[in-house]
A and B are shown apart, each in its own frame.
Chain A
Amino acid sequence: MVSFDLADNPVRELNQHLHAAVSGKVTVNNAGGKHSIAVGAIGNHEVEINGNVGYYCAGMNSDATIRVNGHAGPGLAENMMSGRVQVSGNASQYCAATAHGGLVVIEGDASSRCGISMKGVDIVVKGSVGHMSAFMAQKGCLVVCGDAGDALGDSIYEAQLYVRGKVESLGADCEQKEMRAEHKDKLQSLLDAAGITDIQVNEFTRYGSARKLYHFDIDNASIY
């Protein structure tokens, strides 16, 4: 096992270690809110980070499993390609923005713009998400076990949204959808993957695109 103490060592040393396509356990201590911790990891690393992390933790992750024992600042797992990122606390704004694949699990709440422009990542939030979450979301699933803020799924494409609690408001072209068997199966698999056992799929409502804004239509001018 390799260990990095960020109180004494620069973040770059940690990241350069993670850029070598190898696998192994990595422990990171004294995160101290520093930026860009464990960014660009390639390979099956198992990274455990102790402390709160700052901007852009776990960005561009490929294949690594990254766990943060603390809260995450803005831009967690931005543009992640694959692998798994899990945060024991809350995540700040635009978590998993533009992420293409993998799984992000937030055990607390996620802030505004969670999953903005998501392109295939799956996101499971045990708490609630802030306003404008899944804005222009293209692909993947956002599961919210708590509530969602204003304008959920505004200008959404083909991402699937599952919310267990209250939705403050839906964004333009986002609508409630029927929960069919295949959606329940998918949701169950995501809850299983996130290790959530005390919540039933029947408690969720599905939301997705009404597909009215894909192409310009003068009749829809008022909702653009």
Chain B
Amino acid sequence: MCGIVGLYAKTDSVRENLGKYVGAMLEQMGERGPDSAGVAFYADSAIAGEASKVTVQHDDTNQIDAVAQSVQTAFNGVQLKRRGTHLVIESTKTPELMEQWVRESFPDVRLMSAGKRIEIYKEKGHPSEFVSNYALHEISGSHALAHTRMATESAITTSHSHPFSTGLDLCLVHNGSLSNHNRLREKLLRAGIRFETDNDSEVAAGYLTWRISQGDSLRQALAAAIRDLDGFYTFAIGTRDGFAVLRDPVACKPAVLAETDDWVAMSSEFRAIAQLPGAENAKVWEPVPAQIYTWEGEIRDGVAA
């Protein structure tokens, strides 16, 4: 069992309070996943014009201090944000270049995410501790995805926690368990996809990364996932401008969608959505199995592309 929450803001007020709302939703999902928690926020960079964001993490904060010092020496005009064991590096360089720099300069530091708008924070421990330790209420943005984990298939560590990056500005959270992940991981390793853990959900993330690198749209990659992934899943996928939701055809894992004039929300359970202003009058429905739902400013649903 795990918990998923997603929130897409339609108004400035919700954008400003995004972290506060997502934190409240996440706490409600603590019982579904007491082992670890994580969140992906999407927000424009503080740097005007073309800018990139890369989030890195290390359990030893001295390592993060070293990255912070080194990146300021290596690049002009970077902006840094520290949060828990994480560091967000914003710069005018491309995300690919910054990713490469981190990998080469600090091979032991974890790359959590890269892109133009995404920031990922995750940590083992109870979700309510995560919400307060990471001061989620301070964070604003256009949309966010978050996850609470009850580990079933692999160990409880920060790197086994969700969300998993699946490429630039893309991330995945998963409630369920995959049964063909070992075979699929071997195939993806041969195709050059990197894995940090033996986690089944990371394989789903790697699968999407691989499909998209082969030229698939997100919708096409998800349609292929219905065919190639065996197991139980409710997935939520964060994109630069919104998020997508997909349930497996048997659909044992729960999911609820809700919408008002101010927001679109997704969760494993309504009690998380009930924390949002106006939830009592929201349109609430359950996503249909094996159907891909996406939000990018407007709701679109339909059969697989």
Q: Is A90 an interface residue (CB 8 A)?
A: yes
Chain A interface mostly helix, strand, loop or mixed?
loop
B289 near A33 with CB under 8 A, answer no
Interface string of A43-73 (1 = CB under 8 A from B): 0000000011011000000000000000101
CA distance A74 to B268 in the complex (A): 11
A130 cross-chain contacts in B, Cβ below 8 A: 251, 289
The answer to whether B301 has its CB under 8 Å from any CB of chain A is no
Shortest B116–chain A CB gap in Å is 35
Whether the Cβ atoms of B270 and A73 lie closer than 8 Å is yes
In the bound complex, do residue A71 and residue B270 qualify as a contact, i.e. CB atoms below 8 Å apart?
yes
Whether B271 and A90, one on each chain, are in contact in the complex, defined by CB atoms closer than 8 angstroms, is no
Would B271 and A33 count as touching, CB distance under 8 A?
yes
Q: Out of B271, B284, B285, which one reaches A32, CB within 8 Å?
A: B271
Chain A minimum-CB-distance residue to B273: A33
Encode B235-254 as 1/0 by CB contact (under 8 A) with A: 00000000000000001101
Which residues does chain B contribute within 8 Å of A33, judged by CB atoms? 269-274
Distance of B272 from chain A, by nearest CB (Å): 8
- Check if B269 sits within 8 Å of A90, measured CB to CB: no
- Interface: A160 (CB within 8 A): no
**A54 and B269 contact, CB distance less than 8 A:** yes
Bound-complex Cα distance A90 to B286 (A): 9
Measured CB to CB, the nearest residue on chain A to B272 is: A33
Measured between C-beta atoms, what is the minimum distance from A147 to chain B in Å? 12
0 or 1 for each of A89-119: is its CB under 8 Å from B? (1 = yes) = 1101100000000000000000110000000
A34 touches B254 (CB 8 A): no
Contact call B251/A52, Cβ cutoff below 8 A = no
CB-based nearest A residue for B267: A33
B280 CB-CB contact with A under 8 Å: yes
Total chain B interface residues with beta-carbon distance under 8 A: 15
Which residue of B has the minimal Cβ distance to A35?
B271
Q: Tell me whether A131 is interfacial, beta carbon within 8 Å.
A: yes
Query: Contacts of A111 on B, CB cut-off 8 Å?
Result: 286
* B274 lies within 8 A of A92 (CB): no
Contact B289–A54 (Cβ < 8 Å)? no
Provided the pairs A93-B251, A111-B286 are in contact, do residues A51 and B280 lie with their beta carbons within 8 angstroms? yes
Tell me the bound Cα distance from A33 to B272 in angstroms: 8
CA distance A92 to B247 in the complex (A): 14
Asked whether, in the complex, the Cβ of B254 is within 8 Å of the Cβ of A74, the reply is yes
Interface string of B250-284 (1 = CB under 8 A from A): 01101010000000000001111110000010001
Q: How far is the CA of A73 from the CA of B269 in the complex (A)?
A: 8
Tell me the B8-63 residues at the A interface (CB within 8 Å).
none
Distance in angstroms from B248 CB to nearest chain A CB is 12
* 40-98 of chain B: CB within 8 A of chain A: none
Q: When chains A and B are docked, how far (Å) is the Cα of A92 from the Cα of B252? A: 11
**Contact of A52 with B270 at beta-carbon distance under 8 Å, contacts A93-B251, A93-B254 already known:** yes
A51–B269 alpha-carbon span in the complex (Å)? 14
Residues in A with CB closer than 8 Å to B289 are 112, 130-131
A-B pairs with beta carbons under 8 Å apart, 6 shown? A32-B270, A33-B270, A35-B271, A51-B274, A52-B274, A54-B271
Q: Closest 3 interchain pairs by CB?
A: A33-B271, A33-B270, A32-B274
Other than the known A32-B270, A52-B270, A112-B289, what 11 A-B pairs have Cβ atoms closer than 8 Å?
A32-B271, A33-B271, A51-B280, A54-B269, A73-B270, A90-B285, A92-B254, A93-B252, A112-B251, A130-B251, A131-B289
Identify the A interface with B (CB < 8 A): 32-35, 51-52, 54-55, 71, 73-74, 89-90, 92-93, 111-112, 130-131
